Amino acid sequence: MATEVKICGINSNEALNAALEAGAEYLGFVFFPKSPRHVSVEQAAALAKQVKPGIKKVGLLVNASDDEIHQITEQVPLDILQLHGGETPERVAEIKRNFGLEIMKVIKVSEQKDFETVSVFEEVSDRLLFDAKPPKDLKDALPGGNAISFDWRLLAGKSWKRPWMLAGGLNSDNVEDAVRISGAPAVDVSSGVEDKPGLKSVEKIHSFTSKAKST
Ligand SMILES: O=C(O)c1ccccc1N[C@@H]1O[C@H](COP(=O)(O)O)[C@@H](O)[C@H]1O
């Protein structure tokens, strides 16, 4: 089966149309104010409402409160909540209970022992996303979206109870290797399809998606 693709940080009609035309199965909207890809609830609603059923709309949240999630989910027709902060398993279960949407919990990886929490999160989350752990010494690092990769060999041969994606520093030059080495059934990209932080490139979205899907 062709590798599935999520284009994250959709913040304009151009980016939305490019991702849809390229064949992405998932579109990510970033609700994290410090991100250069941040969208307001109104912007995200206008974009998400153009998307036909079958394409999953993902809301990216970082340690969001129930009030914030309510404001978003009341107006934006989302399918999945991507939890990219330090949410505990208890908090993940609570968000799932309170909002009834699919949950994709992000596991941040730099070494083998980072997989120790996976079994607990598999019990409360519908999907998993493995992203690179931001280095502590990286000034201005975000909790994700830093164009940093981790060693994809750490994922090789592993299997999980839940559907999963690979993220972190992917681009059209490395996505084929990343999929081959990690065995990822789906990939998620943000920085790697941009001309500068927050500005998506139509050409890079097409090239990334085509390479990912040909692997
Ligand atoms: O994209 C962001 O700005 C962002 C902000 C806060 C948390 C996560 C964010 N993005 C996610 O990070 C990974 C990797 O992104 P990149 O391809 O290395 O730029 C991906 O899951 C994005 O959805």
Q: Where are the domains of the chain?
A: 4-214
Percentage of residues in the chain having pLDDT higher than 90: 93
Q: Is 8 a catalytic site residue?
A: yes
Pocket test for ligand 1, best of 29, 84, 140, 199 (most atoms within 8 A of CB): 84
Q: Which atom of ligand 1 is nearest to the CA of 35?
A: 3
Q: How many CB atoms lie within 10 A of CB 74?
A: 9
Q: Go through the chain and tell me how many residues it has.
A: 215
Q: Is 131 a catalytic site residue?
A: yes
Q: Domain 4-214 is classified in which CATH homologous superfamily? A: Aldolase class I (3.20.20.70)
Q: What is the mean pLDDT of residues 44-72?
A: 97
Q: Which atom of ligand 1 is nearest to the CA of 85?
A: 7
Rounded CA separation 167/129 (Å): 7
- Bridge partners for 38 per DSSP: 30
In sequence order, the 6+-apart residues with CB closer than 8 A to the CB of 5 are 22, 23, 24, 25, 26, 186, 187, 188, 189, 208, 209, 212, 213
- Banded model confidence at residue 140, pLDDT cuts 50, 70, 90: low
